């Protein structure tokens, strides 16, 4: 269901529509590079992970890394895309200082993965389907270091030859928001299946953003490509700036030149880098050192079997089988670690209480999202570093269900659990936080409160229903928040 709001750029001649397509380069998780045995790890000393193949020494031959191929196929399957059982590597020829081969081994006419689609979450129940044009495997280039010496550029070849998946979307996005949400969803899927770590700060995922503008219903306008944008926020900012720039040029009577541009995050601007070369300038031709890739059915079956439950399927299960709201389900499935924690918690609660999953799911989800995530965010910790385990969380929630503590007190108990690592039961015991459910004790307090507030009692009995909350508050105050709210409500209604 596409229920997206229409986003436009306002011009003096009226509204303009933005058309966006993305080419996302995602680094494959693998120990070795695409065509050599050198390590693909990030952060090593410059030029520590460079084999003779990566340095393009004469006579060296590339050897395909099967794991990278498998990861590309798994990714294609996770994107619901067609897997091409036959594909081929081509050489893309160009000169660059950090590309010693003088060409990049890539795929052109025959990519490993064909068309697919991604359903993108836009919040408030809005979704959008973005088409995938293709996914191909290629090697990364090295890195030029311009900031190491006042008048020289150094070259680090650690990244040279690392496997990339280039995931090309169709020009289906119509707003910065849709593009940002698409990158986020892609990242979620790749992290779920473990084919890319999605670490945009380390450059494991970077987007080339194609932007054009047109009047609604017109054919596509001339596009500009903004290279290597490395955060979701920058993707959105770059689109917004670039669309405005193009509209202003066209409305001034100018023409858009097809070109490659760079986004400057400090200024929030895009600027020209080079005019776009035509594809034939790369002189693509089949790499004579590599055989085409060919898959049999067993390979495909194994790849499919290795996929975990994907975020869309998980979300449906969380809403339909567990009865969670769409919003809560979306939040929980956005990161696999979060969903895993939630499911582990659910299993612990079921084990401890003997209740059904569906009965306890809502409480568990609310606790994870508001209490646990709230604390993790505040302390900047990842869920894998949570000081409170799923079993610890389950113990706390069971104390509420059993009426030992109120939901209100549970928040204080959790605070202490989070800081000290102590168990919920130990904290409740130590601080004497057990809920007061003894009707006799509460009844006596209510009698005192009624006697002490004759004015309010008269007003309540005269029809001022809202005063009920006042009485609840008085009882809670008298018990330090420990009175069982159900018991208080019941007794107050009776006595008033
Ligand atoms: Mn590429």
- Percent of the chain whose pLDDT exceeds 90: 78
Shared-domain flag, residues 222 and 104: yes
> For residue range 137-167, what is the model confidence (pLDDT) as tens digits?
999 999 999 999 999 999 999 999 999 999 9
- Is residue 112, in this structure, part of any structural domain at all? yes
pLDDT of 2 above 50: no
What pLDDT sits at residue 151? 94
pLDDT of 477 above 90: no
Instruction: Give burial (CB, 10 Å; 0-12/13-18/19+) of 377.
Output: exposed
Q: CB of 416 within 8 A of CB of 422? A: yes
Rounded Cα distance between 50 and 142, Å, is 10
Rounded Cα distance between 118 and 132, Å, is 7
Q: Cα 200 to chain center, whole Å?
A: 11
User: Which pair of structure tokens corresponds to residue 423?
Assistant: 């168990």
Shared-domain flag, residues 334 and 299: no
Sort strands 259-264 and 163-169 into parallel, antiparallel or unpaired: unpaired
Shared-domain flag, residues 457 and 344: no
Helix axes 326-333, 357-366, angle to 10 degrees: 70
What pLDDT sits at residue 278? 58
Ligand 1 centroid – CA 349 distance (Å):
47
Half-sphere exposure of 193 (CA within 13 A, CB side): 25
Q: CB of 357 within 8 A of CB of 323? A: no
What pLDDT sits at residue 279? 53
- Percent of the chain whose pLDDT exceeds 70: 98
What pLDDT sits at residue 5? 60
pLDDT averaged over every residue in the chain:
93
Q: Which domain holds residue 461?
A: 439-495
Arithmetic mean of pLDDT, 284-297:
96
Rounded Cα distance between 44 and 37, Å, is 15
Please give the DSSP secondary-structure letter assigned to residue 35.
S
Shared-domain flag, residues 348 and 485: no
Ligand 1 centroid – CA 25 distance (Å):
7
- Is residue 401, in this structure, part of any structural domain at all? yes
Ligand 1 centroid – CA 115 distance (Å):
17
CATH of the domain at 445: 1.10.10.410
- Is residue 209, in this structure, part of any structural domain at all? yes
**pLDDT bracket for residue 437 (50, 70, 90):** confident
CA pseudo-torsion sign 312, 314, 317, 323: negative
Shared-domain flag, residues 130 and 256: yes
Q: Domain ends where: 262, 281, 304?
A: 304
Q: How far is CA 143 from CA 34, 42, 164, in A?
A: 17, 12, 15
- Is residue 88, in this structure, part of any structural domain at all? yes
Shared-domain flag, residues 408 and 285: no
What pLDDT sits at residue 273? 84
Q: Starting from the edge strand earliest in sequence, which strands make up the sheet with 285-286, in order?
A: 103-106, 90-93, 285-286
Shared-domain flag, residues 365 and 451: no
Shared-domain flag, residues 239 and 371: no
Sort strands 224-229 and 205-214 into parallel, antiparallel or unpaired: antiparallel
What pLDDT sits at residue 277? 58
Q: pTM (2 decimals)?
A: 0.87
> What residues contact residue 379 under an 8 Å CB cut-off, 6+ apart?
none
Ligand 1 centroid – CA 24 distance (Å):
8
Rounded Cα distance between 346 and 330, Å, is 17
Ligand 1 centroid – CA 282 distance (Å):
12
Rounded Cα distance between 287 and 88, Å, is 8
> For residue range 70-115, what is the model confidence (pLDDT) as tens digits?
999 999 999 999 999 999 999 999 998 999 999 999 999 999 999 9
> For residue range 18-54, what is the model confidence (pLDDT) as tens digits?
999 999 999 999 999 999 999 999 989 999 999 999 9
Helix axes 407-420, 424-431, angle to 10 degrees: 110
| Phi/psi-derived region of residue 482, left when phi > 0, alpha when psi is between -120 and 50, beta in every other case | alpha
Q: Kindly report the CA angle at 74 between 73 and 79, in degrees rounded to 5?
A: 95
In what helix (H) or strand (E) does residue 385 lie, and over which residues does it extend?
none
Rounded Cα distance between 119 and 395, Å, is 37
Ligand 1 centroid – CA 219 distance (Å):
26
Q: How far is CA 44 from CA 30, 55, 159, 198, 334, in A?
A: 15, 16, 10, 19, 30
**pLDDT bracket for residue 433 (50, 70, 90):** confident
- Is residue 96, in this structure, part of any structural domain at all? yes
Ligand 1 centroid – CA 205 distance (Å):
12
Ligand 1 centroid – CA 120 distance (Å):
23
- Strands (DSSP E) contained in 216-339 are 224-229, 259-264, 269-275, 285-286, 293-294
> For residue range 205-223, what is the model confidence (pLDDT) as tens digits?
999 999 999 999 999 999 9
Ligand 1 centroid – CA 300 distance (Å):
25
- Is residue 1, in this structure, part of any structural domain at all? no
User: Which pair of structure tokens corresponds to residue 321?
Assistant: 């089988």
pLDDT of 440 above 80: yes
Instruction: Give burial (CB, 10 Å; 0-12/13-18/19+) of 127.
Output: middle
Arithmetic mean of pLDDT, 275-292:
83
Q: How far is CA 202 from CA 197, 220, 287, 341, 356, in A?
A: 10, 34, 30, 26, 43
CA pseudo-torsion sign 316, 318, 323, 324: negative
Shared-domain flag, residues 152 and 35: yes
Shared-domain flag, residues 144 and 77: yes
Sort strands 14-27 and 9-11 into parallel, antiparallel or unpaired: antiparallel
Work out how many domains the chain is built from and give that number.
3
Ligand 1 centroid – CA 113 distance (Å):
14
**pLDDT bracket for residue 3 (50, 70, 90):** very low
- Is residue 336, in this structure, part of any structural domain at all? yes
Ligand 1 centroid – CA 21 distance (Å):
14
Ligand 1 centroid – CA 144 distance (Å):
17
Shared-domain flag, residues 290 and 396: no
Q: How many residues does the chain have?
A: 496
- Is residue 273, in this structure, part of any structural domain at all? yes
Q: CB of 429 within 8 A of CB of 399? A: no
What pLDDT sits at residue 238? 97
Q: Domain ends where: 304, 328, 350?
A: 304
Q: Domain ends where: 286, 304, 322?
A: 304
Shared-domain flag, residues 188 and 166: yes
């Amino acid at each position: 269901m596409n229920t997206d709001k229409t986003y436009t750029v306002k011009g003096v001649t009226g509204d303009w529509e933005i058309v966006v397509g993305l080419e996302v380069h995602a680094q494959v998780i693998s120990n070795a590079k695409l065509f050599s045995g050198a390590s693909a790890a990030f952060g090593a000393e410059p030029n520590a992970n460079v084999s003779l193949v990566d340095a393009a020494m004469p006579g060296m031959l590339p050897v395909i890394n099967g794991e990278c191929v498998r990861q590309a196929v798994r990714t294609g399957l996770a994107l619901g895309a067609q897997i091409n059982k036959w594909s081929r590597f081509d050489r893309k020829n160009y000169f660059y200082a950090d590309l010693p081969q003088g060409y990049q081994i890539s795929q052109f006419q025959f990519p490993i993965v064909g068309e697919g689609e991604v359903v993108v979450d836009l919040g408030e129940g809005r979704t959008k389907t973005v088409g995938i044009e293709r996914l191909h495997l290629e090697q990364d280039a090295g890195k030029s270091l311009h900031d190491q010496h006042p008048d020289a550029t150094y070259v680090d070849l650690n990244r040279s030859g690392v496997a990339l998946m280039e995931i090309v979307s169709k020009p289906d996005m119509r707003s910065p928001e849709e593009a940002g949400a698409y990158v986020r969803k892609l990242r979620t899927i790749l992290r779920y299946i473990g084919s890319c770590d999605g670490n945009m700060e380390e450059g494991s995922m970077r987007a080339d953003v194609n932007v054009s503008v047109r009047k609604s219903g017109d054919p596509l306008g001339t596009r500009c490509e903004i290279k290597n944008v490395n955060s979701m926020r920058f993707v959105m900012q770059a689109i917004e700036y670039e669309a405005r720039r193009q509209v202003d040029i066209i409305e001034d009577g100018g023409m858009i030149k097809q070109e490659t541009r760079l986004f400057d995050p400090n200024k929030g601007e895009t600027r020209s880098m080079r005019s776009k070369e035509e594809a034939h300038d790369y002189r693509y031709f089949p790499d004579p050192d590599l055989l085409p890739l060919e898959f049999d059915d067993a390979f495909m079956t194994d790849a499919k079997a290795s996929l975990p439950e994907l975020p869309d399927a998980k979300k449906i299960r969380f809403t339909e089988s567990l009865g969670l709201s769409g919003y809560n389900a979306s939040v929980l499935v956005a990161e696999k670690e979060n969903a895993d924690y939630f499911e582990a918690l659910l299993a612990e609660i079921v084990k401890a209480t003997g209740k059904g999953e569906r009965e306890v799911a809502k409480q568990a989800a609310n606790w994870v999202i508001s209490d646990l995530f709230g604390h993790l965010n505040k302390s900047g910790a990842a869920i894998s570093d949570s000081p409170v385990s799923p079993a610890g969380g389950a113990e706390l929630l069971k104390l509420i269900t059993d009426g030992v503590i109120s939901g209100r007190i549970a928040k204080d108990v959790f605070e202490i659990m989070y800081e000290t690592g102590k168990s919920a039961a130990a904290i409740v015991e130590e601080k004497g936080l057990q809920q007061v459910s003894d009707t006799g004790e509460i009844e006596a307090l209510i009698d005192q409160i009624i006697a002490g507030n004759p004015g309010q009692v008269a007003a309540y009995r005269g029809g001022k229903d809202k005063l009920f909350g006042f009485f609840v508050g008085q009882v809670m105050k008298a018990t330090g928040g420990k009175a069982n709210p159900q018991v208080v409500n019941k007794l107050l209604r009776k006595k008033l």
